[in-house]
A = this chain, B = another copy of it.
Amino acid sequence: MRPLVEPHLRDLLPYVPGKPIEETEREFGVTNIAKLASNENCLGPSPRATAAVQAALAKGHLYPDAGAFALKARIAHLHDVAPAQIVIGCGTNELITHLCRALLGEGDALLNAWPSFVCYRIGARIVGAPERTVPLDAALNYDLAALADVAAADPSVKLVFLANPNNPIGACFGRDALEAFVARVPDHVVIVLDEAYAEYVERPDYEDAVALIRRRPRTLFLRTFSKIHGLAAYRIGYAVGDVEIMQILDQMRDAFNVSALAQVAALAALDDVEHIERTRAHNRAERPRLVTALEGLGLAVTPSEANFVLATLPESLPLDVPALNLALLQRALIVRPVANYGLPRSVRITVGTQTENDRLLAALAEIVGAAGSRT
């Protein structure tokens, strides 16, 4: 009998999601869980989005608008681009995978920093394309100069993803660094800026992706409704950019890839300025408080411009991440170990509500304190 599938499909990289609340409840016999593992919006979904969805539930039997007419018009207005420059995905995850499928043909390679969002790597594996990997620098920032070196030197490089802020780090590079990178990347390389956490960024010199896509063909950026808008349950995100690529992407997606409720929710969320501002203000206040307290417990925290931080256990502490994670789960706290990102002594912690952060910090003080007393 002939082989069932191409060999590379036998070796796909599974995505390791944050532990679901229900599963953790079942496994550890706990309730009142604080999930600080998936960078969801701790203030909940956009209330305007929820209200709009509520009003649309009676139409649950009708297929979505396959062309997402209303939502595309709204996003086009937001970024001052044409609707044809927009593709809506079942989360940006779908768009990342389709970009790999569309752009990584025979002989093409993905250029990827590591660690960065694992879905770029998963996408390359799904199409069986090789990955050229450039490590982050010692401070866990993108090494954009080294990435540009590879893009310029290796003609197989066809596609590069830059997560800014980067995930699972939180680090964010500025406009000048991006400009210098872009200037050195050959024109045939497609540059994708993944801006999942853009709305949280405070630095004034954050990239202007719209200006960049106007100037450079083969450039696009991704935005999601899963983060600041609080709509992760719905699965919706979008790409904006090069019309030629967008046309291909739009035909590659299944016609009804985005649910009607997600379209309704996203449309309302974009107008929910109160929710966006409230979330920003919360993050602006709570993240520094969390960072200071974590550092006070002896953990190293990487500077972050997102709604999460990367915290690293000192080598001197006789506590490893699996033990820390278990102790937190037993206290109904879910954070994200990132050993699969090559960071075995780190956890990614979402900025929670004040109460959630207090609970986490109290638990950490207890766990880290007990471990420290063993030294």
Chain A positions near chain B (C-beta within 8 angstroms): 1-2, 4-6, 9-10, 12, 14-15, 17-18, 20-23, 35, 38, 40-41, 43-45, 49-50, 53-54, 56-67, 69-70, 90-91, 93-94, 97, 101-103, 105-106, 119, 126, 158, 187-188, 190, 218, 226, 230-235, 244-245, 248, 251-252, 254-262, 265
Chain B nearest CB, measured from A255 CB (Å):
4
Give the distance in Å from the alpha carbon of A230 to the alpha carbon of B58 in the complex: 10
**Residue contact B64 to A60, C-beta cutoff 8 Å:** no
**Residue contact A9 to B102, C-beta cutoff 8 Å:** yes
Task: Please name all residues of chain B whose beta carbon is closer than 8 Å to the beta carbon of A262 when the two chains form the complex.
Answer: 259
**Residue contact B22 to A65, C-beta cutoff 8 Å:** yes
Grouping DSSP codes into helix (H, G, I), strand (E, B) and loop, the A interface class, with mixed when no group exceeds half, is: loop
* Given known contacts A9-B252, A44-B60, A245-B4, A258 and B234 CB-to-CB distance under 8 angstroms: no
Task: Please name all residues of chain B whose beta carbon is closer than 8 Å to the beta carbon of A44 when the two chains form the complex.
Answer: 58, 60-61
* Given known contacts A4-B244, A63-B38, A261-B233, A45 and B57 CB-to-CB distance under 8 angstroms: yes
Give the distance in Å from the alpha carbon of A66 to the alpha carbon of B18 in the complex: 9
**Residue contact B231 to A60, C-beta cutoff 8 Å:** yes
17 contacts between A and B (CB under 8 A): A4-B244, A9-B251, A10-B248, A14-B255, A15-B255, A20-B65, A20-B67, A38-B62, A41-B61, A53-B60, A54-B57, A60-B230, A60-B232, A62-B233, A64-B232, A235-B257, A235-B258
Of residues A60, A102, A258, which shows the largest number of chain B Cβ atoms within 10 Å of its Cβ?
A60
